[in-house]
C-alpha cells in the first residue's frame, strides 16, 4: 500500500501522523510512505529525523480578517494543489491522510479531486478551518472526541482516537528518567507548554523555581526551543535547584511520559491523548490564543471527568501552580483516583483503529 501522510505546523499534528506510520510499518511490511509538509513547519525537522521520505509545498494559512494576504494564500493554495497532484501521481498514492494544519488543505483536496481515497484526522474537540473545508471532499473524518462529531456529516465520521495514544504505551519509564538526568527514586512532574512552549507558563515556573527546590519531588521543565535561551539566562540569575531539570525540547517523549507522575501542560489534543492513554493526572492550562478557544474545550473534556485540574491562564500564578501540584502529588488517594479517571478516557488502540479505516477504504476502492 502506498500511503501519503500530510500534517504540520506544530507537534500536535505531526506526532499523530508519525505514530500512524510506525503502527502501519509494524502491521504491513510492504507499506510505502511519502510525507508532504512545509519547510517552515516543525515537520521538516521532526519527520526527516525519522528517515521518512519527505517532500514540501509552499502554503500559508488564511487570516480570519479580510486582507490582501488572503488573495496570495488562495494563489498559493492553487499552486499547492497543482504541485500535490504531481507528487501524488508520481508516487502512485493508494490513500491520502491529513492530520491537520493548513498544509493538508491542498494535499488532501488534490487527492480527492484525483479520486484517491482520503481521510482527515481531527485531534480536537472543535475542528480547525482546514479540516472543516476538507470534510466536504474526503471519504472519512476520523475523530478523537465525541464532541467533534456534530461538526461533520455523520456518515463520514468515525471515532478512532489519536494514534499517538497507542505509541506511548509500553515504554520504559526508568530509561526515560535517566535519559534526561532525573533520579529514579522520586516522583516526577513534567511541565511543558505544548510543542512550541508557552511564555505564560514559563513565567509562572520561573517565579516558582526557588520554592520548587524544596519539594520532595523532581521537575522536568521543558521550555520550548524558542524560549530556551531566555529562560536559561533568568535561571542563571535565580539559581537552578538540583531537583529541577530544564530542557528546550524532548525528543523521546513516550519514554519520558512513562516515568512521569504528574503533567502540567497546555491542553493540545495530542498531549491529552497521550496522558489519558497512560493514565497520568494533569494540571491543564489551555492556551486562550487558539481558534474557537478549542484548548479549553479539550481540557474540560478531561477535567469534567476528574482526570485533570483546569487552571485558566488568567488565574495562573506561581502560588496557585505550586498549590495544585502539592494537592495532587502529596495526596496518594487523590493521585490514585485521578490516574484511574484519566485512564478511563484513553483510547490506547487508536492507531490500529485508524489503520482499519484506511484498509477498508483502499479495499472499497479496489486498489
Ligand atoms: C497553539 C496551537 O495551535 N496548538 C495546537 C497544536 O498544539 P501542539 O502542537 O502544542 O500539540 P499538542 O500539545 O496536542 O501535542 C504536542 C506533541 O508534541 C510532543 N512534544 C511536545 C513537547 C516536547 O518537548 N516534545 C514533544 O515530543 C507531545 O508529546 C505531543 O505529541 O496542535 C494540537 C493538536 O491539534 C491542538 O490541540 C493545539 O491547540
Model pLDDT for residues 77-94, shown as the tens digit of each residue? 999 999 999 999 999 999
Q: Separation of 310 CA from ligand 1 center, angstroms?
A: 17
Q: Separation of 367 CA from ligand 1 center, angstroms?
A: 34
Q: Separation of 12 CA from ligand 1 center, angstroms?
A: 4
Q: Return mean pLDDT, the chain.
A: 95
Q: Who contacts 170 (Cβ-Cβ below 8 Å, separation ≥6)? A: none
Which tens digit of pLDDT belongs to each residue from 147-183?
899 999 999 999 999 999 999 999 999 999 999 999 9
Give yes or no for residue 62 having a pLDDT over 80: no
Q: Of 6, 7, 9, 11, which is best to mutate to test ligand 1, by the most ligand atoms within 8 angstroms of its C-beta?
A: 11
Which tens digit of pLDDT belongs to each residue from 279-289?
999 999 999 99
Max alpha carbon distance in the chain (Å)?
A: 64
Percentage of the chain lying above the pLDDT 70 cut: 98
Query: What mean pLDDT is predicted for residues 90-111?
Result: 97
How far from chain centre, in Å, is Cα 170? 19
pLDDT at residue number 332: 95
Whether the complex's predicted ipTM surpasses the cut of 0.85: yes
User: How far is 58 from 76, CA to CA, in rounded Å?
Assistant: 7
Q: Of 6, 7, 9, 12, which is best to mutate to test ligand 1, by the most ligand atoms within 8 angstroms of its C-beta?
A: 12
Q: Report the nearest atom of ligand 1 relative to the CA of 291.
A: 3
Instruction: State whether the beta carbon of 249 lies less than 6 angstroms from ligand 1.
Output: yes
> For residue 180, what is the DSSP state?
T
Which tens digit of pLDDT belongs to each residue from 183-218?
999 999 999 999 999 999 999 999 999 999 999 999
Q: Which fold does the domain 2-166+348-365 belong to in CATH?
A: Rossmann fold (3.40.50)
Give yes or no for residue 237 having a pLDDT over 80: yes
User: How far is 159 from 162, CA to CA, in rounded Å?
Assistant: 9
Q: Who contacts 59 (Cβ-Cβ below 8 Å, separation ≥6)? A: 38, 73, 76, 77, 80, 102, 103, 105, 106
Q: Who contacts 29 (Cβ-Cβ below 8 Å, separation ≥6)? A: none
Give yes or no for residue 223 having a pLDDT over 90: yes
pLDDT band at residue 64 under the 50/70/90 scheme: low
User: How far is 340 from 318, CA to CA, in rounded Å?
Assistant: 27
Q: Report the nearest atom of ligand 1 relative to the CA of 267.
A: 13
Q: Which fold does the domain 173-345 belong to in CATH?
A: Rossmann fold (3.40.50)
Q: State the CB neighbour count (10 A cutoff) for residue 69.
A: 12
pLDDT at residue number 55: 97
84 is in an annotated binding site: no
Burial 276-286, CB ≥16 within 10 A → b, else e: bbbbbbbbbbb
User: How far is 88 from 143, CA to CA, in rounded Å?
Assistant: 25
Could you give the angle at the alpha carbon of 21 between the alpha carbons of 18 and 25, nearest 5°? 140
- Domain(s) of CATH 3.40.50.2000: residues in the chain: 2-166+348-365, 173-345
Give yes or no for residue 41 having a pLDDT over 70: yes
Give the CA distances from residue 104 to residues 58, 118, 161, in Å, rounded to whole numbers and listed in that order: 11, 11, 19
User: How far is 189 from 262, CA to CA, in rounded Å?
Assistant: 5
Query: What mean pLDDT is predicted for residues 85-108?
Result: 97
Contact 144, 350 (CB under 8 A): yes
User: How far is 284 from 256, CA to CA, in rounded Å?
Assistant: 18
Which tens digit of pLDDT belongs to each residue from 244-255?
999 999 999 999
pLDDT at residue number 68: 76
pLDDT at residue number 367: 67
Instruction: Report which protein residue has its CA nearest ligand 1's atom 37.
Output: 268
Predicted structure pTM score? 0.92
Give 125 or 171, the one with higher predicted confidence.
171
**Plot region of 162 (φ>0 → left; ψ -120 to 50 → alpha; else → beta):** beta
Q: Report the nearest atom of ligand 1 relative to the CA of 101.
A: 35
Give yes or no for residue 115 having a pLDDT over 70: yes
How far from chain centre, in Å, is Cα 19? 11
Q: Report the nearest atom of ligand 1 relative to the CA of 42.
A: 9
Helix (H) or strand (E) holding 258: helix 253-258
Percentage of the chain lying above the pLDDT 90 cut: 91
Instruction: State whether the beta carbon of 129 lies less than 6 angstroms from ligand 1.
Output: no
pLDDT band at residue 118 under the 50/70/90 scheme: very high
Amino acid at each position: 500500500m502506498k500511503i501519503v501522510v500530510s500534517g504540520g505546523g506544530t507537534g500536535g499534528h505531526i506526532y499523530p501522523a508519525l505514530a500512524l506510520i510506525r503502527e502501519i510499518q509494524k502491521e504491513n511490511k510492504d507499506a510505502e510512505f511519502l510525507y508532504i509538509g512545509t519547510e517552515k513547519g516543525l515537520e521538516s525537522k521532526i519527520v526527516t529525523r525519522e528517515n521518512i521520505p519527505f517532500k514540501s509545498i509552499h502554503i500559508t494559512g488564511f487570516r480570519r480578517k479580510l486582507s490582501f494576504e488572503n488573495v496570495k494564500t488562495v494563489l498559493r493554495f492553487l499552486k499547492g494543489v497543482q504541485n500535490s497532484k504531481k507528487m501524488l501521481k508520481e508516487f502512485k498514492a493508494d490513500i491520502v491522510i491529513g492530520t491537520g494544519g493548513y498544509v493538508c488543505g491542498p494535499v488532501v483536496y488534490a487527492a480527492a479531486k484525483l479520486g484517491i481515497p482520503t481521510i482527515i484526522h481531527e485531534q480536537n474537540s472543535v475542528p480547525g478551518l482546514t479540516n472543516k473545508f476538507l470534510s466536504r471532499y474526503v471519504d472519512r473524518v476520523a475523530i478523537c472526541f465525541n464532541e467533534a462529531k456534530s461538526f461533520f456529516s455523520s456518515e463520514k465520521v468515525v471515532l478512532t482516537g489519536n494514534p499517538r495514544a497507542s505509541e506511548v504505551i509500553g515504554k520504559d519509564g526508568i530509561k526515560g528518567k535517566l535519559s534526561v538526568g532525573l533520579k529514579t527514586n522520586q516522583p516526577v512532574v513534567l511541565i511543558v507548554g505544548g510543542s512550541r512552549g508557552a511564555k505564560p507558563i514559563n513565567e509562572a515556573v520561573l517565579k516558582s523555581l526557588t520554592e520548587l527546590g524544596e519539594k520532595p519531588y523532581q521537575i522536568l521543565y521543558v521550555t520550548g526551543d524558542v524560549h530556551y535561551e531566555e529562560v536559561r539566562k533568568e535561571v542563571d540569575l535565580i539559581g537552578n535547584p538540583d531537583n529541577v531539570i530544564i530542557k528546550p525540547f524532548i525528543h523521546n517523549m513516550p519514554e519520558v511520559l512513562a516515568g512521569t507522575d504528574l503533567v502540567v501542560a497546555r491542553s493540545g489534543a495530542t498531549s491529552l491523548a497521550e496522558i489519558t492513554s497512560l493514565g497520568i493526572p494533569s494540571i491543564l492550562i489551555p492556551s486562550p490564543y487558539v481558534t474557537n478557544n478549542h484548548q479549553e474545550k479539550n481540557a474540560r473534556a478531561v477535567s469534567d471527568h476528574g482526570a485533570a485540574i483546569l487552571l485558566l491562564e488568567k488565574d495562573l500564578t506561581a502560588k496557585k501552580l505550586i498549590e495544585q501540584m502539592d494537592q495532587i502529588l502529596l495526596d496518594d488517594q487523590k493521585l490514585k483516583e485521578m490516574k484511574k479517571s484519566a485512564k478511563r478516557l484513553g483510547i490506547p488502540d487508536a492507531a490500529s483503529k485508524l489503520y482499519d479505516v484506511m484498509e477498508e477504504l483502499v479495499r472499497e476502492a479496489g486498489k
